[in-house]
Chains A and B, each alone.
Chain A
Amino acid sequence: MVALTGDSKIESSEAASIRVWHVSKQFDSADGGITPGALALNDVSLTVKAGEMVCIVGPSGCGKSTLLRMIAGLTPPTTGELSIGAEPITGPGAERGLVFQDPSLFPWLSVRGNIEAGLVARGVLRHMQQEADEFMRLVGLEAFANSFPHHLSGGMAQRVALARALINHPRVLLLDEPLGALDAFTRMRMQDEVLRLWRARGTTMLFVTHDIDEAIYMSDRIIIMTPRPGRIEQIISVELDRPRDRGSDEFLHLRGQILETMHFAGQPLAGNTH
């Protein structure tokens, strides 16, 4: 597709690192505070280096989406601190892009309008028209520039969502199960697509998934979380060369290790390793 030169990369400096420091999140209880609400996250600390690709895996209710929303600045933590580089996170900002499982494209805007939304929101559209073209090429959707989202397939819609999030050149891209709603084949293609964008742009990526294979295939490190209350169980470094072979021994070994950590080892689900 488009050969992106080195100068369009974001400088991999400390500014693009994520720091989460002893963060807990207690949600308000439904009865107005008589009983304590659910503890979604309990004392979570982690650091993501600039330019790193980190996946968070864990079952439903382990607080991984909450953690992502807190980094995005959409939900404040109950206790603890979060920062991007040296700046504490106090609210949402254009330097942190977010992509949901549901692409959440603005249905009233064309593909082009959606991709440009970030430029319009920052009031810089006028001098950055060509930027939108570049991003449409980047995700291979030039032909659909004027289509409305309801004409797009799931994979195409998610590519638009990626381009929309990337157009502001965020230092950090947060992805909340972005490929979860796609079929297996589209999903594998999109994994490569995300990796390509990651390599091309050098963006720090924090990627929530509940697909262990996806996590191993994509990430530099895998954070395993467990629920009730949500906390980090283990962090595993994946030191395999990309592109990774989903069938290699190392891959399968890692898979078994993660399943064991998540207490699925020995069950039929994990039957192929030990």
Chain B
Amino acid sequence: MSTSIEEAVPEAPAVTKSQSIASLSKSVPTAEARYRPQTLLAIPVGALISLGIHYFIPKREPVPTSHYFPTLLFAMLGFGILLIALCPFSLRVRKWMRHMCPILGIATLTTGIWELITCCLALMPLPYFPGPEAVVSSIVNDRALIFDSTWHSLALLLSGYAIGTVIALITGVTIGWFPHARYWGMPLLKIVGPIPATAWIPLAMVVAPSALFSAMGLVALAVWFPVTMLTASGISNTRTSYLDVARTLGANRLYLIFRVAIPAAMPNIFIGLFMGLGTSFLTLVVAEEVGVKSGLGWYVSWAQGWAEYGKVYGALIIMAAFFSTIMTLLFKLRDRVLVWQKGTIKW
């Protein structure tokens, strides 16, 4: 059965491919214009193999009766074919395809292999390792609650992160600039800072008026330490010649701090912001699981309590998308703020 699919695969796109190569070599004969079959075919082939597994290999495990997973695979197949149809017309699409098609193709194929080793071959024990249909259907069916949880997580994360960052910038600049603040602040920072924010949970529960506030405080604390540390080191390592030049230009202390030291420390501050974002994700999830009765962290432990592992994986997928989106936004902000540094940073 699978062989018939294998044969069917190359046929349809092969025609499109040779056509588009012909049309392309006429219009844009550049290096980007040459494209390889593995780029063009990755997504359709991945989707077709996964669909073949889904429809033709008998299931040994009970599967939800819904059809969300194959619908997704068909959507992927359609997307792949659409890309092939579009690529002769746009250089941007071709560049994007060169970069993304292998990854997306393999990702699509992986979902098929997932179904193969769970539902079809029953190699993984239930209920801990459900197949893709169970996960996709629980995301779709529980979308209202998941959306609500994501929204709560976002609000908690952003408020905690913003509060922590603002306080950290103030403490970091103070410790970095004023020797007295450095003398008294640094030991405190070095002793208290490395304690993971989650270790403060027992205290936070007692001190804060509500679980939400304690979680916000913990997220803020998780961001505060790395941002303070790196801001302080960035400020105190400002090149003396920048400060000397600014002084001879008639700069007062405010200018020296806000227009010389802080911009000079910006690359460092961003390293702190990235580190703080990682620790704040961790703190957020733990705080939600333990105290706050909402958010994605809570959702995961709640679903686990009901042994609904489809929902657990569904929430993890949403979490991955959620956190990586925020991370990407921070990268974009960094690229904009540190545009003057472009070319010298590689992370």
A residues with CB within 8 A of B: 69, 72-74, 91-94, 96-98, 100, 102, 104, 106-110, 117-118, 120-122, 148-150, 164-165, 168
Residue of A whose beta carbon sits closest to that of B266: A108
Determine whether the beta carbon of A94 is less than 8 Å from that of B248: yes
Neighbour of B249 across the interface among A74, A100, A108, A121, CB < 8 A: A121
Determine whether the beta carbon of A121 is less than 8 Å from that of B251: yes
What are 5 contact pairs spanning A and B, CB under 8 A? A73-B248, A98-B244, A104-B242, A121-B249, A150-B340
Complex interface: stretch among B105-113, B120-128, B255-263? B255-263
A97→B245 CA distance, assembly (Å): 8
Q: Note all chain B residues with C-beta closer than 8 A to A100.
A: 241, 244-245
Q: Note all chain A residues with C-beta closer than 8 A to B4.
A: none
Tell whether A98 pairs with B245 under 8 Å between CB atoms, given A148-B340, A150-B344: yes
Q: Note all chain B residues with C-beta closer than 8 A to A165.
A: 248-249
Neighbour of A121 across the interface among B239, B246, B266, B339, CB < 8 A: B246
> How far does the Cβ of B153 sit from chain A's closest Cβ, in whole Å?
34
Given contacts A107-B340, A118-B249, A121-B246, 9 further A-B contacts (CB under 8 A): A94-B249, A106-B263, A106-B264, A108-B266, A117-B246, A148-B340, A150-B341, A150-B343, A164-B249
Interface size on B, residues (CB 8 A): 24
* A interface footprint on B320-347 (CB within 8 Å = 1, 0 otherwise): 0000000000000000000111111000
Tell whether A168 pairs with B249 under 8 Å between CB atoms, given A104-B241, A106-B263, A121-B255: yes
A164→B245 CA distance, assembly (Å): 9
B247 interface contact, C-beta 8 A:
yes
Q: Note all chain B residues with C-beta closer than 8 A to A121.
A: 246, 249-252, 255, 259
A176→B266 CA distance, assembly (Å): 28
Determine whether the beta carbon of B263 is less than 8 Å from that of A108: yes
A108→B268 CA distance, assembly (Å): 14
Residue of A whose beta carbon sits closest to that of B339: A148
Q: Note all chain A residues with C-beta closer than 8 A to B245.
A: 98, 100, 104, 164
> How far does the Cβ of B250 sit from chain A's closest Cβ, in whole Å?
3
Residue of A whose beta carbon sits closest to that of B246: A121
**Taking chain B's interface residues, is the majority helix, strand, or loop, or is none over half, making it mixed?**
helix
A264→B252 CA distance, assembly (Å): 45
Determine whether the beta carbon of B248 is less than 8 Å from that of A93: yes
> How far does the Cβ of A117 sit from chain B's closest Cβ, in whole Å?
6
Residue of B whose beta carbon sits closest to that of A174: B248
A107→B264 CA distance, assembly (Å): 8
Neighbour of B260 across the interface among A102, A106, A110, CB < 8 A: A106
A150→B267 CA distance, assembly (Å): 15
Neighbour of B341 across the interface among A106, A107, A120, A168, CB < 8 A: A107
Determine whether the beta carbon of A118 is less than 8 Å from that of B250: yes
Residue of B whose beta carbon sits closest to that of A121: B251
Determine whether the beta carbon of A108 is less than 8 Å from that of B248: no
Interface hits, B207-264 → A, CB 8 Å: 239, 241-242, 244-252, 255, 259-260, 263-264
Q: Note all chain A residues with C-beta closer than 8 A to B244.
A: 69, 72, 74, 92, 98, 100, 104
Q: Note all chain B residues with C-beta closer than 8 A to A98.
A: 244-245, 248
Determine whether the beta carbon of B250 is less than 8 Å from that of A94: yes
Residue of A whose beta carbon sits closest to that of B256: A121
> How far does the Cβ of B255 sit from chain A's closest Cβ, in whole Å?
5
Q: Which 4 A-B pairs have the closest CB atoms?
A: A94-B250, A92-B247, A118-B249, A121-B251
> How far does the Cβ of B230 sit from chain A's closest Cβ, in whole Å?
17
Tell whether A109 pairs with B340 under 8 Å between CB atoms, given A98-B244, A102-B241, A121-B255: yes
Residue of B whose beta carbon sits closest to that of A98: B248
A164→B247 CA distance, assembly (Å): 13
Residue of B whose beta carbon sits closest to that of A117: B249
Tell whether A96 pairs with B248 under 8 Å between CB atoms, given A108-B340, A109-B340: yes
Residue of A whose beta carbon sits closest to that of B244: A74
Determine whether the beta carbon of B248 is less than 8 Å from that of A74: yes
Q: Note all chain B residues with C-beta closer than 8 A to A150.
A: 340-341, 343-344
